[in-house]
Amino acid sequence: MNKDRVDLPQGTLDLLILKALGLEPLHGWAVSERLQQISSDALQVGQGSLYPALHRLERRGWIKAEWGITDNNRKAKYYHLTAAGRKQLKAEEEAWRKLAGVVGQVLDMG
Amino acid sequence: MISDLLYRLRSLFQRRSVESELQDELQFHLDNEIEKLLRAGVPPAEAARRARLAFGGRDQVKEECRDERGVNFIENLGRDVMFAARLLRMNPSFTAVALLSLALGIGANTAIFQLLDAVRLRDLPVKAPAELQEVVIGGDGPFGNFTSRYAHLSSAQWDQLQVMQQAYSSLGAWTARPFNLASGGETRPAEGILVSGHFFETLGVDTARGRILDASDDQKGCGAPVAVISQSFWQREFGGAPDAVGRSLRLDGHPVTVVGITSPSFFGVEVGRSYDVAVPLCAETLVKGPDSQLTIKRHNYWLSAIGRLRAGWSAERADAHLRTISKPLFTASSPPDATPDQAKRYQEMRLKAEPAGKGLSWLRVNYERALWLLLGSAGLVLLVACGNLANLLLARASARTHEVAVRMALGASRGRLVRQLLTESLLLALVGAGLGLLLASAVSQSLVSLLVTADDRVALGTSIDWRVLTFSMGVGLFTCLLFGLAPALWASRVEASAAFAGARRGTGSRGRSAFRSFLVSAQVALSLVLVAGAMLFGRSLYKLLGSDVGFRPEKVLVTSLDTRRLGFSEDRQKVLFVTLLDRLRATPGVIQAAHSTIIPMSGWESNTSIDLGGGKSIGTRFSPVSSGYFATLGTPILAGRDFGNEDSEKSQPVAIVNEAFAVKYFPGVDVVGQTFPSPFKAKQICRIVGLVKNTKYVKLQEDFTPITFFPSSQLFFTGNYARYVVRSQLPAAELTRAIRESVASVSPSIDIEFIQLDQELRESVARERLLAALAGGFGLLAGFLAAVGLYGVLSYSVATRRSEIGIRMALGADRRMVMRLVLREAGWLLLVGAVAGIIVTLAAGRAASSLLYGLQPNDPLTLVAAVSALGLVGLASSYLPARYAARLDPLTALRQE
For A68, the closest chain B residue by CA position comes to: B25
Mean pLDDT of B76-80: 78
| Beta pairing partners, B180 | B189
- Residues B108-160 have pLDDT tens digits of 899 888 888 888 888 888 889 999 999 999 877 777 777 777 888 999 999 99
A63 to chain B: which residues are within 8 Å by CB?
Answer: none
From the number of C-beta atoms within 10 Å of its C-beta (0-12, 13-18, 19+), residue B42 rates as middle
pLDDT at B126: 87
Measured distance CA(B776)–CA(B628) in Å, rounded: 42
Among B3, B8, B68, beta carbon nearest to A52: B68
- Confidence class for position A1, pLDDT limits 50, 70, 90: very low
B25 to chain A: which residues are within 8 Å by CB?
Answer: 27-28, 51, 76-77
CB B191 within 8 A of CB B148: no
- Residues B565-603 have pLDDT tens digits of 787 887 888 889 999 999 999 999 999 999 998 888 887
B802 vs B166, higher pLDDT: B166
Sign, CA torsion B386/B387/B389/B390: positive
Percent of chain B surpassing pLDDT 70? 93
- A85 in reach of chain B (CB within 8 A): no
Order of strands across the sheet that contains A63-69: A26-27, A75-81, A63-69
Measured distance CA(B413)–CA(B446) in Å, rounded: 50
Measured distance CA(A45)–CA(A58) in Å, rounded: 19
Instruction: Give the closest-approach CA distance of B68 to chain A in angstroms.
Output: 5
B822 vs A2, higher pLDDT: B822
pLDDT at B625: 93
Distance between alpha carbon B839 and the CA centroid of its chain, in Å? 27
pLDDT at A67: 87
Measured distance CA(A68)–CA(A82) in Å, rounded: 17
- B61 and A49: CB-CB below 8 Å? yes
- A29 and B61: CB-CB below 8 Å? no
Residue type, B631: A
- Tell which A residues from 91 to 110 touch B, by Cβ distance under 8 Å: none
pLDDT at B505: 45
pLDDT at B692: 96
Does residue B178 surpass a pLDDT of 90?
no
- A48 in reach of chain B (CB within 8 A): yes
Please state whether A11 falls in left (phi above 0), alpha (psi between -120 and 50) or beta: left
Does residue B503 surpass a pLDDT of 60?
no
Q: Using alpha carbons, select from B629, B659, B605 the residue that is nearest to residue B556.
A: B629
- A36 in reach of chain B (CB within 8 A): no
- B54 and A77: CB-CB below 8 Å? no
Helical pair A47-60 and B58-69, crossing angle rounded to 10 deg: 10
B24 to chain A: which residues are within 8 Å by CB?
Answer: 75, 77
From the number of C-beta atoms within 10 Å of its C-beta (0-12, 13-18, 19+), residue B70 rates as middle
Does residue B219 surpass a pLDDT of 90?
no
pLDDT at B316: 92
- A55 in reach of chain B (CB within 8 A): yes
pLDDT at B619: 83
Mean pLDDT of B859-869: 91
Residue type, B88: L
- Confidence class for position B884, pLDDT limits 50, 70, 90: confident
Mean pLDDT of A31-36: 84
DSSP string, B159-180: HHHHHH--SEEEEEEEEEEEEE
Instruction: Give the closest-approach CA distance of A96 to chain B in angstroms.
Output: 24
DSSP string, B514-545: HHHHHHHHHHHHHHHHHHHHHHHHHHHHHHHH
| Beta pairing partners, B172 | B306
Mean of per-residue pLDDT scores for chain B: 85
B69 to chain A: which residues are within 8 Å by CB?
Answer: 55, 59
Does residue A2 surpass a pLDDT of 50?
no
A67 to chain B: which residues are within 8 Å by CB?
Answer: 21
pLDDT at B453: 67
pLDDT at B289: 62
Measured distance CA(B781)–CA(B407) in Å, rounded: 39
- Residues B847-863 have pLDDT tens digits of 888 888 888 888 889 99
Instruction: Give the closest-approach CA distance of A87 to chain B in angstroms.
Output: 16
- A52 and B56: CB-CB below 8 Å? no
Count CB pairs under 8 A between chains A and B.
63
- The 3-state secondary structure of A31-88, one letter per residue: HHHHHHHHCCCCEECCHHHHHHHHHHHHHHCCEEEEEEECCCCCEEEEEEECHHHHHH
Mapped onto helix, strand or coil, the DSSP state of residue B271 is coil
- Residues B625-655 have pLDDT tens digits of 999 999 999 999 999 999 998 898 888 999 9
- A27 and B28: CB-CB below 8 Å? yes
- Residues B340-391 have pLDDT tens digits of 777 888 888 899 999 998 888 877 888 888 888 899 999 998 888 888 888 8
- A60 in reach of chain B (CB within 8 A): yes
CA-CA distances (angstroms) from residue B445 to B269, B449, B459, B508, B896?
21, 6, 10, 46, 56
Residues in chain A: 110
Among A53, A55, A67, beta carbon nearest to B69: A55
- Residues B6-63 have pLDDT tens digits of 666 666 667 777 788 888 888 888 888 888 888 888 898 888 888 888 888 778 888 7
CB B610 within 8 A of CB B528: no
Alpha-helical regions (H) of B260-314: 283-288
- A29 and B28: CB-CB below 8 Å? yes
Among B3, B60, B61, beta carbon nearest to A61: B3
Among A32, A48, A59, beta carbon nearest to B70: A59
Q: Using alpha carbons, select from B74, B99, B83 the residue that is nearest to residue B422.
A: B83
Instruction: Give the closest-approach CA distance of B78 to chain A in angstroms.
Output: 22
- A32 and B29: CB-CB below 8 Å? yes
For A54, the closest chain B residue by CA position comes to: B65
Residue type, B702: E
Residue B183 backbone dihedrals phi, psi, to 5 degrees: -115, 60
Residue B561 backbone dihedrals phi, psi, to 5 degrees: -110, 140
ipTM reported for the complex, 2 dp: 0.86
Interface test with B, best of A59, A62, A69, A73 (most B CBs within 10 A): A59
